Amino acid sequence: MAETLVFGKWNPEEVKIKDISLVKHISFESKIIPHTFGKNTRKRFGKSNLNIVERLINKMMRSGQGKRKLSGKYIRGRNGCGKKLQAMRIVEDAFIIIQNETKQNPLQVLIKAIENSAPREDITRIKKGGIAYTISVDVAPIKRIDEALKNLALAAFSSSFNKKVDASQALAKELILASSNDSNSFSVKRKIEVERIAVGSR
């Protein structure tokens, strides 16, 4: 854990990670401003050394699902590809909202949200003798974190795109719901849905 405060406000030393499998892959590398300019992108498992807040910021720069439907509807991003400063402001504002509403360290709320929305089981497609079928597989810890962050970002997109709700408010709401394992959370619903399909493919 680092002594440097994230965004100069929140202490990562206070954060406790309950899910043992995720401990090695969640980093709070010492940075006031979580921006590494992509120095870990070409390293194997470089994501594990990347500050978890920056990983969330990077997911907020997605353009959404594109042409593919998710849960029966299209989810678009906020045209934020490459706009890192905009994404950083959204995340920082969301953290301020979380602190005001929950009176907790928003970094702890983020970790709880990741733990509650990271799927443990998924399906993969296998082909044998011209016959294709799906089987259930365990999800690697680094992939679990990626899926959780992606779904948290998509929840913010779907709640704020073409609506009067601010992106930071939508992200804060989703993080609070996911951290309490609320069934109204989009990312928790996605996790339950993925694991239900995987159970059926065992």
Written as one string, the DSSP assignment of 63-94 is -B-TTS-BTTB--B--S-TT-HHHHHHHHHHH
Query: How far is 33 from 37, CA to CA, in rounded Å?
Result: 11
Q: What is the pLDDT along the chain (202 residues), one digit of tens a residue?
A: 445 778 878 888 888 888 888 888 888 776 667 777 767 777 777 777 788 888 888 888 876 555 555 555 555 555 556 678 888 888 999 999 999 998 889 999 999 999 999 888 888 888 888 888 888 888 888 889 988 998 898 888 877 766 788 888 989 999 999 999 888 888 898 898 888 888 887 7
Taking every pair of C-alpha atoms in the chain, what is the biggest distance, in angstroms? 58
Q: In this predicted structure, what is the pLDDT of residue 52?
A: 86
pLDDT value for 122? 86
What's CA 134's distance to the chain center, in Å? 26
Query: Which token pair is 114?
Result: 């990741």
Helix H segments across 61-201? 84-102, 106-117, 141-160, 167-179, 186-200
Q: Distances in Å between the alpha carbon of 95 and those of 3, 98, 107, 161, 169?
A: 19, 5, 8, 20, 9
- Cβ neighbourhood burial of 60 (10 Å; 0-12, 13-18, 19+): buried
d(CA 82, CA 84): 6
Residue 135 has what DSSP assignment?
Answer: E
The pLDDT, as a whole number, for residue 88 is 86
- Taking each helix axis from N to C terminus, what angle separates 141-160 and 186-200, rounded to the nearest 10 degrees? 130
Q: How far is CA 55 from CA 27, 72, 88, 127, in A?
A: 10, 27, 11, 34
Residue ranges of domains in the chain: 12-200
Supply 119's token pair. 């799927």
**Integer Cα distance of 181 and 52 in angstroms:** 20
CATH topology of domain 12-200: Ribosomal Protein S7 (1.10.455)
Q: With contact defined as beta carbons under 8 Å apart, do 76 and 161 qualify? A: yes
